[in-house]
Every structure is written in C-alpha cells, then in structure tokens.
Amino acid sequence: MTGAPAAVPAASGAGSASAGPRMLRVGTRGSALAVAQTTMVAERLSELSGLPYEIVRVTTTGDTSRASLSSLGGTGVFATELREALLQGECDVIVHSLKDLPTAKAPGLEIGAHPVREDQRDALCSAGGAGGLGLLALPAGARVGTGSPRRVAQLRSVRPDLDIRDIRGNIDTRLGFVTSGELDAVVLAVAGLTRLGRTDAITERIDLERFPGAPGQGCLAVEIREGEVVPGVAELDDPVARATATAERRILARLEAGCAAPVGATAEYHQGQWRIWAGVYTLDGRTALTSRREVRVDDGSVLARIAEDTADAVTGDLFDQGAAQLIAH
C-alpha cells in the first residue's frame, strides 16, 4: 500500500535526497486495526514531510499463535518481528499500539513520537450494540469474553457472577462471538473500535475511575532507529500523550508487571490539572490495591517531571499496600 501528498510524485523506493523524494516505508502488523492506525500515521507523516509512503506488513508471533496472550508472555509478542524489520532496514519507522510494547527500551531503537491519544476507556459490547445490556444489567451467568487478565479481574470485582471466557482474535472475530450468540458480551478497547469505525458495536464505555485502563491504552508508538532523524516524526509527537503514557508505563515497569498481570493505570492532563491513578488486582477480583495523585500544573514545560514524580508516588503507595506480593501470586 502506498500513498503520497497530491503535489508529490510517488517514488518507487528509497533513494538519496538529490535523486528526489524517497519513500517513507512504514512497518506494521497485518491486522485490519494495525493497518488502519498505521495508515493514519503514515498519511500524517506524509503531510508533515512532503514524502510519499509505503505500508510494509510484517507478521508477528502474536498474529500467528492462537495461545492466550498471558501464556505467550504478553508484551512483546506483537513487536519482536516488527522491530527486527526496522533494525534490518526493511522499513524506516514502525507503528505499535503502545500497550503491546514491553516497558524496557529496545536496543538500537527509540520511540520517536506518540501521536495525539485516542479514548483510553474499555468498551462493553453486548448484543444489540448501543441498545444492548450494560455491565450491571447483564443477567447472572452471562458469558463475557476478554483476553486481558486486567479486564478479567476488574469484571469480577463488580460482577463475580459472570462467566468470563478467554478469547483471541481480531476485533471482528471477537464481535462475531456476540453476534453468533456464543457470548453475551465482549470487552474491547474503545480506541480500536473508533479507529476501525466500529463504535456502533459499543454498548457501554466503562468509566476509567472504576476500571483504569491498560498502561498506554489508546496511545500509539512510532519507533525509529536510535539517533536517526525521520522526516515528520518529531512534529508528530504530542507532549500530553507522551507524558500520560510514560507515567502509566513507569508504574507498570516499577511494579515489574507485564500485560499478564492484572494492573491498570490511567493518567490525564486537562486544563492544567494532572491526575493519575492505578490499581493492582487479584485475578478473582476480590482484592484491589489502589492509589491516585492530583497536581495542578500551570507550566506545561514541567509536565514530564511531574508525570514521573506522581507515577513514582503512586507506585510507592501500591508497594506499601503489598502490591509486590499480590503480583507474585
């Protein structure tokens, strides 16, 4: 798949600046959602740089295995092959859903941009879409599908009577479990449904105050080779998206918890108010450790430091409550 600004002729491949515009090769997983959000990024990069682009699809372990994400090790299963393609020069940038990335930096690579963040909430999608039954209205024993231990724990914390089923597959596959009647509802990210134009399937957007999201949910990461300058990438970076996502992932990293652990963290910055809160859960939902911080930040230039400081404070609170022991079990 290729694209270019109307005024810029598409190039057939990479080349030097003196030979004319070169092609920006943008790597992605091959799923419909990954391609849709990567195309959004590629089009914006093309606008900012004046260069044409090509979408390079890479198959990852997470795409080919049908095992549960927690058994595969969670974070990294959608990123390893993409990163290898970038390091080998098969593409110039790669685009990830940030929540799919390990918190540790990849050798030789860096995140060059976090574009403006999409909705961070989870969505309950039940039969009937917008007219369906919400979480609290589902009947006892209702079958609800998710592949996320965090969502399992949060669902059980408010509805221990539900029959939670582990599911895999792309968004259409998961929604298909509901339309076929195999499941009564599934829980998905609002961001993915929005980017695919499937918000019609959303029955309820779950309040982040009740269910803090996966660290980085709704945020994209544009990764480049370390030290390289790729046209348009720096301009694509949104400081608020970077600060909120960095703070959430700092909590995850300090807790030494991957996506197989029931951990939720959400940060927000709006009209000078910085808020961050997190929860660590047992998988049965019976125990939840929580912490939050709120700070007035009138000088945006210190947002990055405030984000780190409050993330550390929240993590310290969780450790004081016994989070390390909870995660270990």
Instruction: Going from the first residue of the chain to its last (329 residues), give the mean pLDDT of each consecutive group of 10, the final group possibly shorter.
Output: 47 38 89 95 97 92 50 60 95 94 94 98 96 97 96 97 95 97 98 96 96 96 96 97 97 81 94 97 95 95 95 97 88
Predicted pLDDT of residue 167: 95
Predicted pLDDT of residue 259: 56
Most distant CA pair in the chain, distance: 67
250 labelled catalytic: no
309 labelled catalytic: no
Predicted pLDDT of residue 261: 76
Locus of tokens 């597959």: 169
Q: What share of the chain is helix, strand, coil (3-state, %, to 5)?
A: 35, 20, 40
For 31, residues 6+ apart whose C-beta sits below 8 A from its C-beta are 63, 170
105 labelled catalytic: no
Identified catalytic residue from 174, 195, 250, 293 = 174
What gap in Å lies between CA 200 and CA 190, rounded to an integer? 11
CATH level 3 topology of 245-328: Double Stranded RNA Binding Domain (3.30.160)
Q: Which two tokens stand for residue 50?
A: 């004046």
Nearest to 27 by CA among 59, 56, 63: 56
Identified catalytic residue from 25, 83, 150, 249 = 150
Identified catalytic residue from 165, 168, 225, 275 = 168
The pTM of this model reads: 0.87
Q: Exposed (0-12), middle (13-18) or buried (19+): which is 101, by Cβ within 10 Å?
A: buried
Predicted pLDDT of residue 11: 34
Domain residue extents for the chain:
2-115+219-237, 122-205, 245-328
| CATH number belonging to the domain at 122-205, selected among 3.50.50.60, 3.30.70.1520, 3.40.1050.10, 3.40.190.10 | 3.40.190.10
174 labelled catalytic: yes
Whether 122-205 and 2-115+219-237 are alike in CATH topology: the answer is yes
Identified catalytic residue from 29, 44, 92, 100 = 100
Distances (CA, A) of 109 to 15, 58, 92: 22, 17, 11
Kind and range of the H or E element at 3?
strand 2-3
Identified catalytic residue from 22, 29, 117, 151 = 151
Q: Which CATH architecture has domain 2-115+219-237?
A: 3-Layer(aba) Sandwich (3.40)
143 labelled catalytic: no
151 labelled catalytic: yes
Predicted pLDDT of residue 316: 97
Predicted pLDDT of residue 236: 98
**Residue type at 2 in one-letter notation:** T
